[in-house]
Copies of this chain bind each other. A is one copy, B any other.
Amino acid sequence: MHDSKDFLSELQGRGFRLTRARKAIVTFLACIDAPQSIPEILEALRKKGLLFNKTTVYRELAFLVKEGVAKEVRVSDEKRYYELAGEHHHHTICMRCGDIRDVLFRENLLHVERVLLERDGFRVLEHSLEFFGLCSVCKS
């Protein structure tokens, strides 16, 4: 649960417009705690009577990522998922119902990233750590 006002006024402060689509998308992402795919966002907004062209939503999400307001979650079920930016965290993905949830824990991967740089010459800029399994509902 984020505060959409923060993100929107931040964007406005940088000289971007507060359009109907921008407000709707940021507000929607702010009040939901799970990463959402664009088809999901389109459908959820449509159910609220907020109709947008899919091109608009694709472009808006690309814009929000570029401006650092949203993050793309790499989960690979051939859709791309998005969530508002916040503290670095990871995800659990239920292999049965597809539910994706944020999980926070202190995990120290810095030593691994140092090894990758020194041994392989690979400079890590970000990582993704996702856990696949069964959520509490599907497990039982």
Residues of A within 8 A of B (CB): 74-76, 78, 80, 92, 94-95, 101, 103, 105, 107, 112-113, 115-116, 120-136, 139
Contact: A134 with B122, CB < 8 Å?
Answer: yes
> A76, A92, A107: which has the most chain B beta carbons within 10 Å?
A76
What are 27 contact pairs spanning A and B, CB under 8 A? A76-B76, A92-B116, A92-B120, A92-B122, A92-B124, A101-B120, A103-B120, A112-B131, A116-B133, A120-B136, A121-B135, A122-B131, A122-B133, A122-B135, A122-B139, A123-B133, A124-B131, A124-B132, A125-B133, A125-B134, A126-B133, A127-B129, A127-B130, A127-B131, A128-B129, A128-B130, A129-B129
Interchain nearest-CB distance for A140 vs B (Å): 9
Besides A74-B75, A105-B115, A123-B133, 9 new A-B residue pairs in contact (Cβ under 8 A), listed by A number? A74-B74, A78-B80, A103-B122, A112-B131, A121-B135, A121-B136, A123-B134, A124-B131, A126-B132
